[in-house]
Amino acid sequence: MKNRYYFLDNLRWVTVLLVLFYHVFYNFNAVGVFGGVGGFAEHQWQDIVCVLLNPWFMTLLFVVAGASSRYALRSRTPKEFRRERTRKLLVPSTLGLFVFGWILGLLNSREAGAYLPEGVPFLVKYLIAVPSGTGPLWFIRDLFLFSLLLLVVRRVVDVERVEGRISKLRDLGVGLLMVGFFGLLWWASQSQIDNPTVAQGLLNLYRPVYYFVAFLCGYYLFSSERLHTFLASRAWVLIVAAVVAAVGFGVEFYGRDYTSPEAVQGVWCNLYCWSMTLAMMGAFKRWADSTSPVADYLSRSSFGLYVVHMTVCTSICLVLKTSGLPVWAVYVLSLVVTYVGSVVLWEVLRRVPVVRWCVFGIEGKGGK
């Protein structure tokens, strides 16, 4: 087994950059998806960006995280793995809210029209804003929980034994295994709750069953070199299948809430998520299994960009929404500021002692 899988590193940072891209369009969505600053018209063609990205990119991140966890556990004891995940995941998603996340909490309250009036002490605003500033950190909370559960599951199901069986499968067997992956995703998607309460709405956001299935599939299946080779050799077929599924899902849910239980539980959504996950894995293995100075920088920085980007994105979207600029200019400026501002903010915060540990889980000056 190789020491480094560059295509997984590249897949991770490219997907994170797509998350930043998505959140600009999400902030201006007009289809009723919770959050955001509001759209510019009742029907917006640009909302198709959200429809085409939302069903699969977070699932792909969990699959990549699962595969990466297997490789991490080759060089770490379970105790070291647990300690590292606590620092890099639990600390930013808890202490990080008190140090940095509260800013997003204040912005979210303004987005929702619940901005606290003048005269309310700042301490009160701060204490209300802290738990409201979770934003995209739900992902790393899920990932921390899954990492702990993995340490239990792997004691029952040995990954090396699974890898050995996959390596002996012929192409038909690997293909059937991929069909089984679709079946697991579809089954897990049924855990979405219709007409949820507020608490149930959080469960629908965190989707613990669905994403844990994706994470475990990453650990047990998508860490297999046999599977990497299989997907790479069929990259074009998988890309065509993903395009067909994208058209099907886009036609059905354009102009509608693409995050609703009806959408998430549907066959089109799961087919699209499944085919895009396979297509991205296969394409990156075939054409992006190498590195460069830019790719290396983005691989090291993608987690930090993910943590800070929503604060930058929400800030600029709130400012530009009422700026009077043409709609196209609002989107372009929002995208530029979100990308550039996130890089600048990450580079500044990671150099500040204590802050870098609380917000990013970084020890020392090296940024690890």
Locate the domains of the chain by residue range: 6-360
Give the per-residue SS3 of the chain: CCCCCHHHHHHHHHHHHHHHHHHHHHHCCCCCCCCCCCCCCCCCHHHHHHHHHCCCHHHHHHHHHHHHHHHHCCCCCHHHHHHHHHHHHHHHHHHHHHHHHHHHHHHHHHHCCCCCCCCCCHHHHHHHHHHHCCHHHHHHHHHHHHHHHHHHHHHHCCHHHHHHHHHHCCHHHHHHHHHHHHHHHHHHHCCCCCCCCHHHHHHHHHCHHHHHHHHHHHHHCCCCHHHHHHHHHCHHHHHHHHHHHHHHHHHHHCCCCCCCHHHHHCHHHHHHHHHHHHHHHHHHHHHCCCCCHHHHHHHHHHHHHHHHHHHHHHHHHHHHHCCCCCHHHHHHHHHHHHHHHHHHHHHHHCCCCCHHHHHHCCCCCCCC
pTM exceeding the 0.85 threshold for the entire prediction:
yes
Could you read off the pLDDT of 101-150 as tens digits, one per residue?
999 988 887 655 555 566 677 788 888 888 888 889 999 999 999 999 99
Could you read off the pLDDT of 223-272 as tens digits, one per residue?
999 999 999 999 999 999 999 999 999 999 999 999 999 999 999 999 99
pLDDT at res. 12: 98
Residues in the chain, pLDDT under 70: 1-3, 110-119, 198-199, 365-368
